[in-house]
Amino acid sequence: MNSFYVFNGRKIKRFFFVLAAAIFAIGVIYVESDNISVFSEDNPSAIYSVSTDKKQIALTFDISWGEKRAEPILQALKDNGVQKATFFLSAPWSKTHPDIVNAIKESGYEIGSHGFKHDNYSTLTDEEIRKQISSAHTILTAMTGQEPKLIRMPNGDFDKRVLSIAQSLNYTVIQWDTDSRDWKNIGVEKIVDRVVSKAHPGDIVLMHASDSVKQTHEALPLIIKELRNQGYEFVTVTDLLQQGSTQGTEVRDHASLQKSIEDAGGL
């Protein structure tokens, strides 16, 4: 008996699109292998999340410009009883906004470095990388009275050279496992859903407090409420690192693979 199948054109197209996206992601990971690291004693690494059984999560905020969004975000954290969070501050911005830097410090939040110029450090020479990190370090130390130990590179960009130089300057490079995408102003509901749906114990959440984000201060109360309902405790990045090191667990890069697949698939 003869038989035949009728294939749905859209399904075929979608199948090949997903397949192409997966192949592309694998290719990106191979090409960008210098950017993917696993925590170890021997190799410099960037930390995306911490393996822990405790339902602890770190909200982190990058600031590199503007003065309109930081204070509403600080107020949202205060109003909702979040006593611990980590802010990564650009040094030039900090110099021109000492009042906001002081407000972050007085609120008891952790302050890390977001570097000096907002450039991709992987494109710089070793000397330039060292100068960028050191210049920011000097400024932030003078302004806060404490030496920052954590750094998030501008644009989240790094390679092995950047990691090695940062480590030599006594810095730990911090990335993120959950990107709220608040910087795209995708809408309050979508920001909340991305953070809440992807949250996991030991997660580091990327958010921003620069003027480019218009919805973060509105999304925060909902994020905080939902995560608390799930039993999460808000801690600093340093708190997470101490938890992970106490257990002697690996800190793995979960973000690059997921981001590559999402970007390839247009998600």
**Rounded to 10 degrees, what is the CA torsion of 181, 184, 185, 191?**
-10
What was the pLDDT predicted at 253? 39
- CATH architecture designation of domain 45-248: Alpha-Beta Barrel (3.20)
Q: Taking 60 as the threshold, does the pLDDT of residue 5 lie above it?
A: no
pTM as predicted: 0.79
Q: Which residues are bridge partners to 59 per DSSP?
A: 205
CB 200 within 8 A of CB 49: yes
**pLDDT exceeds 50 at position 250:** no
pLDDT digits (tens, 9 = 90+) for 176-226: 999 999 999 999 999 999 999 999 999 999 999 999 999 999 999 999 999
**What is the residue extent of each domain of the chain?**
45-248
More confident residue, 245 or 172: 172
The whole-angstrom separation of Cα 192 and Cα 188 is 6
Query: What confidence tens digit (pLDDT) does each residue in 66-110 have?
Result: 999 999 999 999 999 999 999 999 999 999 999 999 999 999 999
Name the packing angle between helices 188-198 and 216-229 (round to 10°): 30
- The CA distances from residue 24 to 178, 253, 257, 265, in Å, are 21, 18, 11, 9
* 254, pLDDT greater than 80: no
**Greatest alpha-carbon span in the chain:** 84
Give the residue numbers marked as catalytic. Answer: 62, 208
Instruction: State pLDDT tens for residues 139-148.
Output: 999 999 999 9
